[in-house]
Amino acid sequence: MKLPRGIAFKLAVVFLTLGIVPMATVGTIAYVLAKNSMTETFIESFVERVAKDTAFTLDRSVEAMANGVQVLAVSTSLRQNVYALQVYRPDEAEYRDALASIRDDLNAWVEILGDVDLLAVADPNGRVIITSNTMRPAVLERLARKDPAHPPSPYLWSDAESNPMEDKSVADRPWWSRAANGDLTLIPWGSDSIVQLSYYKHYPFFLDDRIDLPDRDRLKNPEAYSFGFTRGVPYPKGEGPEGDASEQAVLIAYFNWSVVQDILDRLTSEFQQRYRQYSSGYPFLFADDLDTVIAHKDRKLYGTTLVGDHHLKGLHDAMVRAPGRAGLHYYQFRDHAKVAGFAPVKSTGWELGFGIDEEDFYAEVYRLRNLLAICGLISAGVIVVLIAWFSRRITEPLRVLIRQTGEIARGNLDTKVEIQSRDEIGLLGDAFNTMAEDLKASNKKLIQAEKTAAWREMARQVAHEIKNPLTPIKLSVQLVERAYRDQHPDFDKILARSVRNVTEQIESLRRIASDFSAFASFPKRDLKPHSLKRILEDTLALYENREGDDVEVRMETSLDEDVSIVVDKDELARVFLNLFNNAFEAMPEGGTLSVSSYVLERGDGPVVEIRVKDTGRGISQEIADRLFEPYFTTRSGGTGLGLAIAKRIVEGYGGEIRIQSAPGEGTTVIIVLPIHRQDTPDA
């Protein structure tokens, strides 16, 4: 119903305008302000500061390792024992004691430093004199946890003779030329064969078993990599060719790379706990070439390059050009827009980067936007519920009024509206009930007036129709009376002619009375299936050998005897008789009466169409449209009820009747009746 929907829509517009629009406006302003607060300056300063802080933390940890190496290198015990190796021959007890003392010192410092894989002492020519022999504590603890019942041996080799590194040369290492000078020198990140020989059983190169994958796609083991420091071991004080300034040997310390990766992982965890909104942030590390990835949370990236493998030349160039190698760069990595700050790890020459997804900076803003959207949807839902309830309260009485108005439109003037309130809706209902009462009273008066008018019209029509035959009857009787009184010589002829005239007029009166009776009454029908073809044939048979006219009767039909219709046979025959009589009267000078019938298929089932056509003068379509009106006729002696009765009968059978005519072309009456189907019960 349009009215309630219109009211509900208007209420929705009002409520949504008053409730949602202000909230949406405030929310939009808050969203824009929050988004604008995340300026590039803030983002860049934050990311660059995080990168510098992380690099500083890593730098201090690595410096602590380097300081430990320096302390060991200049320790009195190590200096004196190394010097003893130069003073005594290998077959002397003092040489063997010094060698054992050096190994003990190295093993002790493995435990002190904690993250050292191997400590070694090499002569100025790069030949390894001696190495530590104990495992890194973390490896020892892992083996102990793996088999608590059988504690592992803490030694890498069973005795000095089985040490695979002694007497090996490290002079071919890229860092040796700097290390030989005695200064503190960095051993770059990589996988050194000396460490691998020592820990080959404990440091698998890959963390997975996917031998089907290329090496670049496999997870690398951080423990399989190392870095370290070398430091010259000075002569004991007062010894050596140049006093304290010269170096008698070089101390080599290999640190396991997992310690650096663990530091970065710990810093990642601390950062993500502190800045939960920036959960994508993590550090990564480049070698001093600013291209090779040497630490990353994705272990597959170990050893890959920015330019060659990841096509991030922009980031590489940014680090190269940055003053003091500290700066910031925007880039795409794995379909994520990222911003990375970078800063140097000064003690090593490495470059530390710290990347965060750009969308993380706007996550809170997006959360605010989503929260505002959710609040808006909830508010809209509440408003819709309120609208539904409120509009129902308003429109339900209007719905009742509309329904009751429909009842009045269908003629039920006894309908009433129950008044439940005394507001404007209640007043409207009261006015409706008053209107219904007035309509009921007016309708009674109208019906009475229509009945009176109908009876008057009926009386006038009956009087008019009866008056026409009464005049010739009166004249005929007066003629007979005058002829008899005057003893007219042709009295017999006058009497016979007058009697015939009176008889004809009495028959006319009988026909008028019959037509009025048929129009005014609704006789009980005897509905049964009948053959239409047979009804037409029987009716047309009455017109065979008709005298006094020159009308040819033709019947054309394609109907079978079993094509039946449910009708009152006598009633339908009277319809056909009326149509045939009209056709004969329309052709006083002769003509052709054609009766045709055939079956048509329609959407609601098969029907039979009967056409009654004459070749008379015809009539205009305007007159043809009025022929079914009661009392309308084009003949001086007709009542105007024949076709009205025919129309009522045909439509009572569920059919239809219409007239097609034109002046000079004759008239065709078309009747359409539904065919009786054998699978339906008889009426």
Q: Which residues of 391-414 are buried (b: 16+ CB within 10 A; e: fewer)?
A: beeebebbebbeebeeebeeeebe
Q: Are residues 14 and 116 in the same domain?
A: no
Q: Are residues 202 and 318 in the same domain?
A: yes
Instruction: Name, in order, each residue with C-beta under 8 angstroms of 131's C-beta and a sequence gap of 6 or more.
Output: 103, 106, 118, 119, 120, 121, 163, 165, 166, 198
Which residues partner with 661 through β-bridges? 667
* pLDDT tens-digit readout, 479-490: 788 888 888 888
Given a cut of 70, whether residue 636 has pLDDT beyond it is no
Given a cut of 70, whether residue 469 has pLDDT beyond it is no
Residue finishing a domain among 322, 337, 361: 361
**Tokens representing residue 475 in the block:** 């004249």
What are the angstrom distances between the C-alpha of 187 and each of 175, 307, 389, 558? 6, 24, 79, 115
Q: How confident is the model at residue 683 (pLDDT cuts 50, 70, 90)?
A: very low
Residue finishing a domain among 361, 385, 420: 361
Is there a domain that residue 261 lies in?
yes
Q: How confident is the model at residue 15 (pLDDT cuts 50, 70, 90)?
A: low
* pLDDT tens-digit readout, 289-343: 999 999 999 999 999 999 999 999 999 999 999 988 899 999 999 888 899 999 9
Given a cut of 60, whether residue 545 has pLDDT beyond it is no
Q: How confident is the model at residue 682 (pLDDT cuts 50, 70, 90)?
A: very low
Q: How confident is the model at residue 590 (pLDDT cuts 50, 70, 90)?
A: confident
Cα–Cα distance, 252 to 226 (Å, whole number): 12
Q: In what order do the strands lie in the sheet with 185-190?
A: 128-131, 116-122, 247-256, 226-234, 185-190
Is there a domain that residue 16 lies in?
yes
Which residues partner with 591 through β-bridges? 551
Q: Are residues 388 and 329 in the same domain?
A: no
Cα–Cα distance, 305 to 315 (Å, whole number): 11
Q: What is the CATH number of the domain that holds 280?
A: 3.30.450.20
54 and 340 in contact (C-beta within 8 Å)? Answer: no
CB atoms inside a 10 Å sphere around CB 485: 8
Q: Are residues 65 and 101 in the same domain?
A: yes
Res 60: pLDDT = 95
Cα–Cα distance, 635 to 629 (Å, whole number): 14
566 and 653 in contact (C-beta within 8 Å)? Answer: yes
Which residues partner with 323 through β-bridges? none
**Tokens representing residue 73 in the block:** 């290198």
Question: Residue 355's closest CA among 425, 410, 426, 306?
Answer: 306
Res 161: pLDDT = 55
Q: Are residues 206 and 318 in the same domain?
A: yes
128 and 121 in contact (C-beta within 8 Å)? Answer: yes
Is there a domain that residue 63 lies in?
yes
620 and 496 in contact (C-beta within 8 Å)? Answer: no
Is there a domain that residue 442 lies in?
no
CA angle, corner 360, sides to 357 and 365, nearest 5? Answer: 150
627 and 612 in contact (C-beta within 8 Å)? Answer: no
Is there a domain that residue 502 lies in?
no
Q: Are residues 632 and 652 in the same domain?
A: yes
Q: How confident is the model at residue 646 (pLDDT cuts 50, 70, 90)?
A: confident
Given a cut of 50, whether residue 236 has pLDDT beyond it is yes
**Tokens representing residue 122 in the block:** 């090499």
Q: Are residues 11 and 147 in the same domain?
A: no
Q: Are residues 21 and 155 in the same domain?
A: no
CA 357, 361, 367, 369 torsion: positive or negative? negative
Q: Are residues 319 and 395 in the same domain?
A: no
Q: Are residues 213 and 318 in the same domain?
A: yes
Per-residue pLDDT, averaged over 575-589, amounts to: 84
Containing structural domain, residue 262? 46-361
Q: Are residues 384 and 298 in the same domain?
A: no
Q: What is the CATH number of the domain that holds 666?
A: 3.30.565.10
523 and 568 in contact (C-beta within 8 Å)? Answer: no
Average pLDDT, the chain: 81
Written in H, E and C, the secondary structure of 501-548 is HHHHHHHHHHHHHHHHHHHHCCCCCCCEEEEHHHHHHHHHHCCCCCCC
Cα–Cα distance, 91 to 87 (Å, whole number): 12
Q: Are residues 23 and 86 in the same domain?
A: no
Domain count, the chain: 3
Is there a domain that residue 456 lies in?
no
Cα–Cα distance, 510 to 504 (Å, whole number): 10
**Tokens representing residue 483 in the block:** 């002829």
Is there a domain that residue 496 lies in?
no
* pLDDT tens-digit readout, 362-388: 766 667 667 777 877 887 777 777 777
Instruction: Name, in order, each residue with C-beta under 8 angstroms of 86's C-beta and a sequence gap of 6 or more.
Output: 248
673 and 536 in contact (C-beta within 8 Å)? Answer: no
Give the residue, 202 or 683, on which the prediction is more confident: 202
Is there a domain that residue 483 lies in?
no
